[in-house]
Amino acid sequence: MWKSVRKLLSNPVFILATLGASIFFGVKFPELSSRLEPIGGYYISFLKMIILPYLFTTITIGIASVAADPAGARYTWRIMVTYPLSMIVVAVISLGACFIVPPAGNTSDGPTIAALGAIVNKESHGGSSINKLEVTLAKPEVVESKGASYPILDRFVPSNVFEALSQGDSLKVVIFCIIFGAALADQGGSGSLSLFANMKIVQSACVEVIRWLNLVLPITLFAMVSGQVAKVGAGPLLSLAPFVTVQVLTACVLFLIFALIIARAARVSPIAAVVQLRETLILAITTRSSFACIPVAARELIEKLHFNRFGTDLVMPLGTTICRLGHVQYFVIGTVFISQMYGVELSLSQYVLIIITSVAAGFASSGATGALSVVMISIVTDALHLPVEAAIALFIAVDPLIEVFRTVVLVYGNCALTAMMTPLEEDPALWANEHETARAVS
């Protein structure tokens, strides 16, 4: 009985049907759907609860193994070359898409610009400070800054790892893990080995919790998706149709490229490269949290596509944190949209600047989610001296939809990067979950 329920809950057809039903429900009964949304929120909270311990153990073990293993050095090099390079490639593809479909297509039309203005007005009436600003002519008293003087580096440098953990600041946790893992590899003796073994147990326990949570996904999926659908107004989507179209089309193109990369590396068909990673994709679509997808993606890459566990456990979590492919795409298209909306002609050097600063903003957005990552576009627009506040109000209005694509590109893209960097595991005994293998042996 339990087994058949379990089978049904993880059946892709069943999940797709739930997905369709929840979209329908969200469109048909937006009010009821938005009341269901908190249920999805609790689910995401549960997932996040287990992500930090998982990341902590996985990345520390990963880095320590790389540092201890002479062959590990090649991962360091691959990561340092592949991450920036892949972000540049994504930026170039996104820019190319902007040439094919101009993201600000019809915004100079009277009715469209009036509708867009109304969105900006609505956002600023909502109490956000994006469009309201008060200054004084008298010089304000200088507020002493608290030491840190490079705001962009503030996000990267941890001062207290427990504070970072308690605030869920995953980027700082990851940086701590890298340093700590490297130091751990240097500590010889049996003591460090047993610490490794213990951490591996913690890690697999985390994976187990995530497995349980995955079982109730179809139930919460309904609440999450219908709530999200209810949030997207048709009005903003129509007014920003060209922008949304470019974002979605680019995401689809990138998705295809990623699928082909995974298929080639895993020696399976492109369809299998999508189907075998279905749990990851469904989780990315429903939770829109890239971090929540890391453990499931790593498990699917290892167990279903048979990538080497050691490489996957290292590259997948690290990449999802710092190699923000989805965000780079978003920033490039968003910036071109802003320049077109304000009628600013961009020179070749400015296009190059967009690519470089978008990659930089991608790194800077590490760990940022939702509206915060939308605001990160100001890193790019500031460099080009473009006005960004009105555009951010517009972007936030359509973000409930765009965020889904951004997360999918980020997560699936990092699956592709992992596939590129990690060899296949030849030994079938290592394909299955270590935990289950251990259970089977005993």
Partner 1 sequence: MFGMLKRTLTIGAMLFVALFATFTVAQTVPDATTLAGPPDLLGIATRGKLIVAMTSFDNAPFYSVKDGHLEGIDVELSNDIAEALGVEVEFDRSAETFNDVVAKVKNGEADIAVSKISRTNSRALVVAFSTPYVRLKNGLMFNRLNLAQKSQGKDLGDYVRNFDGNIGVIAKSAWVINGQQRFPKAKIIEFKTWAEVLDATISGEVDAAYRDEFEVRRITEDFPETSINLRAVTIADARDSIAVAVQWNAPRLLAIVNQVIEDRMIALDADDVIEMYRESIATEGSH
Give CA torsion, residues 177, 183, 186, 189, to 10 deg: -70
Q: Is 117 in the site for partner 1 (CB under 8 A)?
A: yes
Q: Select the residue interacting with partner 1 from 1, 13, 138, 234 (CB under 8 A).
A: 138
- Give the shortest CB-132-to-partner 1 separation in angstroms: 7
Q: How far apart are CA 34 and CA 400, in angstroms?
A: 13
Q: Is 374 or 393 the residue whose CB approaches partner 1 more closely?
A: 393
Q: How far apart are CA 239 and CA 112, in angstroms?
A: 6
- Give the shortest CB-121-to-partner 1 separation in angstroms: 5
Site for partner 1 in 295-334 (CB under 8 A): none
Task: Please report, for residues 46, 199, 274, 285, the alpha-carbon distance to residue 206 in angstroms, rounded to integers and kept in the order given.
Answer: 12, 11, 25, 22
Q: Is 124 in the site for partner 1 (CB under 8 A)?
A: yes
Residue 393 contacts residue 119 (beta carbons within 8 Å): yes
Q: Is 137 in the site for partner 1 (CB under 8 A)?
A: yes
- Give the shortest CB-113-to-partner 1 separation in angstroms: 4
Q: Is 140 in the site for partner 1 (CB under 8 A)?
A: yes
CA 141 vs. chain centroid, Å, equals 40
Q: Select the residue interacting with partner 1 from 133, 142, 143, 441 (CB under 8 A).
A: 133
Q: Select the residue interacting with partner 1 from 10, 34, 131, 192 (CB under 8 A).
A: 131
- DSSP string for 4-53: HHHHHHT-HHHHHHHHHHHHHHHHH-HHHHHHHHHHHHHHHHHHHHHHHH
- Give the shortest CB-120-to-partner 1 separation in angstroms: 4
Q: How far apart are CA 42 and CA 405, in angstroms?
A: 22
Tokens of 282: 């469904």
- Give the shortest CB-87-to-partner 1 separation in angstroms: 23
Q: Is 121 in the site for partner 1 (CB under 8 A)?
A: yes
Q: Is 271 in the site for partner 1 (CB under 8 A)?
A: no
Q: How far apart are CA 200 and CA 192, in angstroms?
A: 12
- Give the shortest CB-116-to-partner 1 separation in angstroms: 6
For the chain, the maximum distance between any two Cα atoms, rounded to a whole number of angstroms, is 77
Q: Is 136 in the site for partner 1 (CB under 8 A)?
A: yes
Q: Select the residue interacting with partner 1 from 93, 113, 272, 346 (CB under 8 A).
A: 113
Count of residues near partner 1 by CB under 8 A: 31
Beta bridge partners of 424: 307
- DSSP string for 68-118: HSGGGHHHHHHHHHHHHHHHHHHHHHHHHHHHHS-TTTTTTSHHHHHHHHH
Q: Is 51 or 388 the residue whose CB approaches partner 1 more closely?
A: 388
- Give the shortest CB-329-to-partner 1 separation in angstroms: 23
Site for partner 1 in 379-408 (CB under 8 A): 381-382, 385-390
Q: Is 347 in the site for partner 1 (CB under 8 A)?
A: no
Q: Which residues bind partner 1 (CB under 8 A)?
A: 107, 110, 113-114, 116-118, 120-121, 124, 131-140, 341-342, 344, 381-382, 385-390
